[in-house]
Chain A
Amino acid sequence: MPIIVNLDMMLAKRKMKSKDLADIIGITTANLSILKSGKAKAVRFSTLEAICKALDCQPADILEYVEG
């Protein structure tokens, strides 16, 4: 998939653990892992909004388009 999820990078920048982020945004760690690994088929706006709020960032910081 040409859409890359840079959630790991943002978590490292904010020095936050996956479990803490999952707790804040209200999803399971299994679902967060699916999102991080790029296996997710879609992301709800509400989830994206919660992630941006928790990590204090923009959607573009998390999602990236790579041609190929």
Chain B
Amino acid sequence: MIKIKVLLGFAICYVVFNIIHLSSQVIHFRSWRTIYQSILDSGNSFFGKSIWLIQNMISFVTLIGIIYVCVALFKIIKSGYFNIQASRSFKIGGLLLCFVAALDLIRAILEISASYQTEFQIGYLMVNGLLFLMGFGILIISKIIKNGTLLKQESDLTI
């Protein structure tokens, strides 16, 4: 259970940093817009100015996915490894991470195919591939927990 607690600690740190990052973008909207504008001016993007919104939406959905994973880890600490609520939270978190990674992979492929910032996009491909694998792994963990919960229930109801 210590490993789960450590993982939860890291995940909470990630969520806090991500919230600070996203809220700073909202509060200092203009200055962040300038930074993105300079990126756009230097390399351009397939999506034009809307890349700012797309990147932030992707960050936001990733944040929601990680929050669901945090909730699942918290439920495991609270009620043990096999409980259906943890399985449900892991499933939603995994699906969100897979979805966001697939979306960003498509975005990066479109940017590469249009020859925009090819070196950056190859890096994005690797990171999103890893995020997709992570999301898929979480989905599998959710399935394992669900099956384990059924087995535990049967074992508990065997007199």
User: CB-nearest residue of chain A relative to B157?
Assistant: A41
Of residues A35, A39, A42, which shows the largest number of chain B Cβ atoms within 10 Å of its Cβ?
Answer: A42
A-side contacts of B154, CB under 8 Å: 41-42
A9 within 8 A of partner (CB): no
Dominant secondary structure at the B interface: mixed
Q: Mark A25-59, 1 if CB is under 8 A from B, else 0.
A: 00100011011000111111001000000000000
A-side contacts of B1, CB under 8 Å: none
Query: What is the CA–CA distance of A42 and B154 in the complex, to the nearest angstrom?
Result: 8
Q: For B157, give its contact among A32, A42, A47 (CB under 8 Å).
A: A42
Query: Which B residues, 100 to 159, have Cβ-Cβ distances below 8 Å to chain A?
Result: 153-154, 157-159
| Tally of A interface residues using CB under 8 Å | 12
Of residues B154, B157, B159, which shows the largest number of chain A Cβ atoms within 10 Å of its Cβ?
Answer: B159
Query: What is the CA–CA distance of A21 and B113 in the complex, to the nearest angstrom?
Result: 76
Q: What is the CB-to-nearest-CB distance from B147 to chain A, in angstroms, rounded to a whole number?
A: 15
Q: What is the CB-to-nearest-CB distance from A18 to chain B, in angstroms, rounded to a whole number?
A: 13
B-side contacts of A41, CB under 8 Å: 153-154, 157-158
User: CB-nearest residue of chain A relative to B153?
Assistant: A41
Query: What is the CA–CA distance of A7 and B159 in the complex, to the nearest angstrom?
Result: 13
B-side contacts of A42, CB under 8 Å: 154, 157-159
Query: What is the CA–CA distance of A57 and B90 in the complex, to the nearest angstrom?
Result: 49
User: CB-nearest residue of chain A relative to B158?
Assistant: A42
B-side contacts of A31, CB under 8 Å: 159
Task: Please tell me if the beta carbons of B158 and A39 are within 8 angstroms of each other in the complex.
Answer: no
B-side contacts of A34, CB under 8 Å: 157, 159
User: CB-nearest residue of chain B relative to A27?
Assistant: B159
14 sample A-B contacts, Cβ–Cβ < 8 Å, listed by A number: A31-B159, A32-B159, A34-B157, A39-B157, A40-B157, A40-B159, A41-B153, A41-B154, A41-B157, A42-B157, A42-B159, A43-B158, A44-B159, A47-B159
